[in-house]
Structure 1
């Protein structure tokens, strides 16, 4: 399955605070917060949800097309992804703006405080996904991740017009989108990805109930961190998929994107949604053990070991596309 991945492309500035944010917050003073945190480390890494998912797919042997906008300061990241097999032909380079920046501090409980500077991402709406898909024959699926809101809406309309199956994954942008905009992004999606907080936000802003969402999407996948994931389909029982456990949590940045890459990879190899969620969980746990969202290496032996230990014999085939 040939996959086009749309979404942000960014440089991540990742810091670690050795304490807990909650210990610094005072009841009754939350309307007047003025805090700074002395951090232990700073890592500057390649990031962005679109680039992160494309990275994961490429490391699993796919050749995804990345669709997004960057600045002229992007050459090193461009070469890095291209060398791994990501098709960079649909990446727009801004003449005036810097590549987007994600600045994030993680505390000892894996809570995160982050800021995002859009920069060149604001030009993603200029990209005509219809032209991109026509120019590159053989695309079967589009993943629409967090991006410039106008770009997300345009890409979604293009997929519906062309009859192209797509995944809706608005993630961080749910905080800024209103109900009508969210409903437009979700309606007709073959896959809908949220985490638990995003799930609640989506329902609150759209005014939909769970059944309303399931009337409009094929499969709703909710990631739940260490609790695994929930798979829902209209008219079918909800399925809970346990996470691949780990005792080593290094950096949660990009873990959800790794889950999506593993899920899409297994789906592309013909596995069902439960198998895809298991594959996603294995890749997410691997990403959790690395600093930065594009540094983990999907070692076949390690993935086979973790999948087999969690889900039993035969589960390792999820990463290879072999029949279970």
Structure 2
């Protein structure tokens, strides 16, 4: 089962503020905020939600197709992705713009303030998913991740027209969408990914109640940070999957993308949703323990141990055959 991952390709500039953002905010002055946070660490890393998810799928041997727009500085990044199992043949490389930039500062409570510069991502709307399917092969799933909004709408419509199941993942772009756009992006999605805050924002943007939304999609997967993951379907009890714990969080950036990679891998391997979510949680914790979104290594023994410690020996045994080919 081949997966096409559409969305942003970016370079991350990750900084750490040795304090708490909340202590710098004055309630009576929130309408006129002018703050500067002195960071004591800077890491420049590869990123972008589509590239991060595709990277995780590539490490798992699933040969994902990355669909997005990058800049004229993409050569080294593209080589890195290919070396890690990602098909970049569908990446549009701009002749005039640089690859998008994600600038993020994290405080000691793991709160984040971020800015995203689109750059070459503005050209993503020029990519025709139907042509990608002809050239790289028809995907079994299309994940529509945060991207230029017009590109997200185009990819969603094309996937539905081709009859390819859609995993909708609007994430950071929800704030830019109007009601009609938000509805078009998630309506008829087979899977919908949000975090807890985005879940509330999505209901506000669409104007639908939770029951109305669930009646229009397949499964809604909501990541809850340290509380794990919630999976909801219309007419079925809500399923909660606890997170895989860790005591050494290095950087929260990219953990959600790693969860998606693990969950989609489970779908590709025809695992039940609960098993796929557990595997996604194990990948997310692995990423939490490293700085950057693509700097982690996957070891079969480590993943199996994490799953066994959190979900029990039977859960570990069910994933072991699929990980047999990994180091």
| TM-score (norm: length of structure 2) | 0.97
**Structure 1 contact 266–318 (Cα < 8 Å) conserved:** no
- Asked if 1:180 corresponds to 2:174, the answer is no
Question: Secondary structure of 1:116's partner?
Answer: strand
Structure 2 Cα separation of the partners of residues 6 and 211 of structure 1: 28
Indicate if the aligned counterparts of 2:59 and 2:84 stay in contact, CA closer than 8 A.
yes
What are the superposed Cα offsets for residues 181-226 of structure 1, whole Å, 9 maximum, x if unpaired?
0000001111000000000000011110111111111100000000
1:75 Cα deviation from its structure 2 partner:
1.1
The alignment yields a C-alpha RMSD, in angstroms, of: 1.2
1:131 to 1:138, Cα distance in 2 relative to 1, 3 A: closer
Q: Which runs of 5+ in 1 are unaligned?
A: none
Structure 2: distance between partners of 1:114 and 1:179? 24
1:321 partnered with 2:326: no
Q: Mark the runs of 5 or more structure 2 residues left unpaired by the alignment.
A: none
How far apart in 1 are the matches of 2:113 and 2:300? 33
Following the alignment from structure 2 to structure 1, what is the Cα–Cα distance between the partners of residues 161 and 266? 26
Provide the C-alpha distance between the structure 2 equivalents of 1:69 and 1:258, rounded to a whole number of angstroms.
21
Q: Tell me what 2:168 maps to.
A: 168
Q: Tell whether the 8 Å contact from 2:15 to 2:42 is kept in structure 1 after alignment.
A: yes
Name the counterpart of 1:207.
207
Q: Alpha-carbon deviations, 1:3-27, whole Å to 9, x = none?
A: 0000000000000001000000011
**1:195 matched to which residue of 2?**
195
2:277 is aligned to 277
- Whole-angstrom CA distance in 1 between matches of 2:164 and 2:306: 34
CA contact (8 A) 2:70 2:93 kept: yes
- The alpha-carbon distance between structure 1 residues 320 and 46, as it changes in their structure 2 partners (threshold 3 A), is farther
**For 2:122 and 2:154, how far apart are their aligned partners in 1?**
13
Other-structure match for 1:38: 38
Match in the other structure for 1:79:
79
Q: What do the CA deviations read for 1:275-307 (whole angstroms, capped 9, x no partner)?
A: 111011000000000000001111111111110
Q: Provide the C-alpha distance between the structure 2 equivalents of 1:95 and 1:247, rounded to a whole number of angstroms.
A: 45
> Could you tell me how far apart the structure 2 residues matched to 1:319 and 1:261 are?
17
Cα 1:165/1:320, change in 2 over 3 Å: farther
After the TM superposition, which of the residue ranges 42-51 and 203-212 deviates more from structure 2? 203-212
Matches within 5 A, 1:71-110: 71-110=71-110
Q: How many residues align?
A: 323
1:271/1:318 contact within 8 Å kept: no
